[in-house]
Chains A and B, each alone.
Chain A
Amino acid sequence: EVQLVESGGGLVKPGGSLGLSCAASGFTFSPYTMHWVRQAPGKGLEWVSSISSSSSYIYYGDSVKGRFTISRDNAKNSLYLQMNSLRAEDTAVYYCARQTEAFDIWGQGTMVTVSS
């Protein structure tokens, strides 16, 4: 079965750090550009970051630029998001997603709560 499984979410204080992981299975991970998309409680989808197949091209949304770092390990079929200097407004469900022409496969999401 083709699937993405996120992990690493939790409660963190403002200014703190957290690392998310996304494990891919059921397909060949390495050729695909991968993304992180988040959704604050009761709000819409917000794109966070993308990384190309060989990590040559990396992009970030304006709201996380300079604080978040995306990476991947093709040998481990895994995508990562390192989040630093977290703010209350970063509270959201974080999804990883596979890009073909669109986002054709999504994980189930992992919740990140930033609160003191």
Chain B
Amino acid sequence: SYELAQPLSVSVALGQTARITCGGSNIGYHNVHWYQQKPGQAPVLVIYRDTKRPSGIPERFSGSNSGNTATLTISRAQAGDEADYYCQMWDSTTVVFGGGTKLTVL
């Protein structure tokens, strides 16, 4: 079965740019989606189809996907961006989530 690899944690200084990666074999051929989850809350979709932002998601959130790595980029990081982030894709008829990355804003 397909696996998505994410770093356990990423740290970023306030106001700087955070990049969270999601690795998988030829992941660039798949659509990748990203979710933000804050403690005690349900996940929220922040990027879909590699680069698209749902309405209400700040432009500071962007995505890319090529080769074996998809990346979620958060520009001008804010304290409120501290959360767990999960990548997700479809593998045929099943759903695959990455293990999640905890983003810390310093």
Contacts and interface: CB of A to CB of B under 8 A. Distances in A.
B42 A95 contact: yes
Interface string B42-53: 111100110010
A45 B33 contact: no
A44 B97 contact: yes
Q: By DSSP majority rule, is chain B's interface helix, strand, loop, or mixed?
A: strand
A103 B45 contact: yes
Given A101-B31, A101-B33, A102-B33, A46 B43 contact: no
Contacts of A102: 33, 45, 48-49, 88
Nearest to A108: B42
A106 interface: yes
Interface residues of B, number: 25
A106 B99 contact: no
Nearest to A103: B45
Nearest to A100: B48
A59 interface: yes
A101 B41 CA distance: 22
B93 A103 contact: no
Contacts of B42: 95, 106-109
Interface in A76-103: 95, 100-103
A104 interface: yes
Contacts of A37: 95, 97
A106 B33 contact: no
A50 interface: yes
A4 to B, nearest CB: 9
Nearest to B89: A102
Contacts of B44: 106
Interface pairs A-B: 9 shortest CB-CB: A102-B33, A47-B95, A106-B42, A102-B48, A44-B100, A45-B97, A59-B93, A44-B99, A101-B48
